A and B are shown apart, each in its own frame.
Chain A
Amino acid sequence: MQRILSRGEIEGLERNALPRLRLPSREVFAERAARLRHLAGGNSLGEYLALMARLAQAQHEALGAFTAPLPDENRLSLAHTHGMPPLPCEGPLEGCWREALRAVLAALSGQELGDAPRATVARLEQTLSAEPQRLDALAQALLAGEEPGDVAAAPFLMAALQVYWTERASRLPEAVVPAVVPSRVCPVCGSLPVASVVRVGAASDGLRYLHCGLCASEWHMVRVKCSHCEDTRSVAYHHLEGASEAIKAESCDACHSYRKIFYQEKDLEVDAVADDLASLTLDVLMGEAGYGRASANPLLWFA
């Protein structure tokens, strides 16, 4: 879709100013829950998507009931000076992330869950009161991308970590985030992106943003460029023949990896995490074609 500029708009256009960063809105989990519920109908993973929709709804409720302190001025300016993320995903984990977990589990307790998820939630609640430090270790393994240990609990723990990081990122002044270009990791928290979204509307029209799997921030990266190795020569786009063209896998023959890319122009409601999870068929076929996933989905963990 071409953007048509009206008279006067052309002269006033600050041509080089593209919005490089989109900090998360407080509605991100509510929107994700709605998207997951929508995708669950008619999807072969419908049951799992419906469960994750309940989890996203619980995240939204937890976000409303929870605040975490932002790092102080000194830390923020130190991070900015050195071009480092202001809310780093590595390093010591503040105990207040467990408040986010408590809030997520509390919100889930009112929800209709299956037997196995209910047992997992109960197990986590028990560990949370009995030996909270064990959860810190599990959480840190997830943040570092190591073996999740407990694959049933991992989506719930990750959901709480997302609430903890998104809560802070949504209140972060944009000026404290260093402009590191190009960046293959999130400029806010330093974790890997889940997928890309090509946005529509206003100044972001047609621009590609990488979506952080932890803090839900989005940062700009030029299109037709591998988001893993930044190669530009052998990037290709794969989609399921006859299925939606809003979902493609952006592959690279230099590093043989791919990440999905969602085109909002073809489907306005796309959510990087939800749509990535709902398009597992594309992952299987990409694997068979010889490409590996460059990073995992925060709501699906493998042993």
Chain B
Amino acid sequence: MNGMNRRQFFKVTAAMLSGSSMAALGLAPEAALAEVRQYKLARMTETRNTCPYCSVGCGILMYGLGDGAKNVKTTIVHIEGDADHPVNRGTLCPKGASLIDFIHSPNRLKQPQYRAPGSDKWQTISWDEALDRIAALMKADRDANFVEKTAEGKTVNRWLTTGMLAASASSNETAYLTHKIVRSLGMLAFDNQARV
């Protein structure tokens, strides 16, 4: 088959056009070459992803606009179902079909928010602060309520006072890691949120 040969990877230039079938058949490519200067290239991307809503895990294609340069922010301009994806074959439910609004929503939460006990206001905190606080509270609760043995002396090592709700559109790997972390703490109440 035509693996590699001289036809491959050529760039169409003015010089090439003047030696082409077009020129040899008496038709001048000048007008076309002059027209080139009126145009600029716009660059888009199409990116595969998984819809974040539910555990069905539909494939989506996200259309982004931007030339990939460092100081230019790529914006997502359109999202549709991925026709190649075996789960949804290009279809999406109404929630999935409106994902683009989810991305550009002015109400979209982009940083951790904290509401102090008794307060009626949310304050923005850093991820470090948020994670430190969650870890400290989890440890305090676990230290206070961890059950090592039952009244009959059976070893159970369980922690019933804290639960965890994990992501819905998890990959197998994410699900495995979540499971390992939660179960190793002795936590029993745990769900991979399959219904939003």
Contacts and interface: CB of A to CB of B under 8 A. Distances in A.
B6 A147 contact: yes
Nearest to B68: A236
Contacts of B22: 45, 48, 300
B90 A152 contact: no
Chain B contact-residue range equals 35 or more
Contacts of A283: 12
B2 A191 contact: yes
A49 to B, nearest CB: 10
B41 A45 contact: no
A152 B21 contact: yes
**Which secondary structure dominates chain A's binding surface?**
loop
B84 interface: yes
B40 A241 contact: yes
A119 to B, nearest CB: 9
A280 B32 contact: yes
Contacts of B84: 18, 207, 222-223
Contact of A144 (B2, B34, B45, B97): B2
B16 interface: yes
B41 A2 contact: no
Interface in B72-121: 80-84, 86-87, 89-92, 97
A275 B29 CA distance: 17
B151 interface: no
Contacts of B131: none
Chain A contact-residue range equals 35 or more
Contacts of B87: 15
B6 A237 contact: no
A239 B63 CA distance: 14
B1 A237 contact: no
A176 to B, nearest CB: 18
Contacts of A122: none
A300 B21 contact: yes
28 contacts: A2-B90, A15-B87, A44-B35, A45-B31, A48-B22, A89-B1, A89-B2, A90-B1, A114-B27, A120-B25, A147-B6, A151-B21, A151-B24, A152-B24, A155-B25, A190-B1, A190-B2, A191-B1, A223-B46, A236-B68, A239-B44, A240-B41, A240-B42, A241-B41, A287-B13, A288-B11, A294-B8, A301-B21
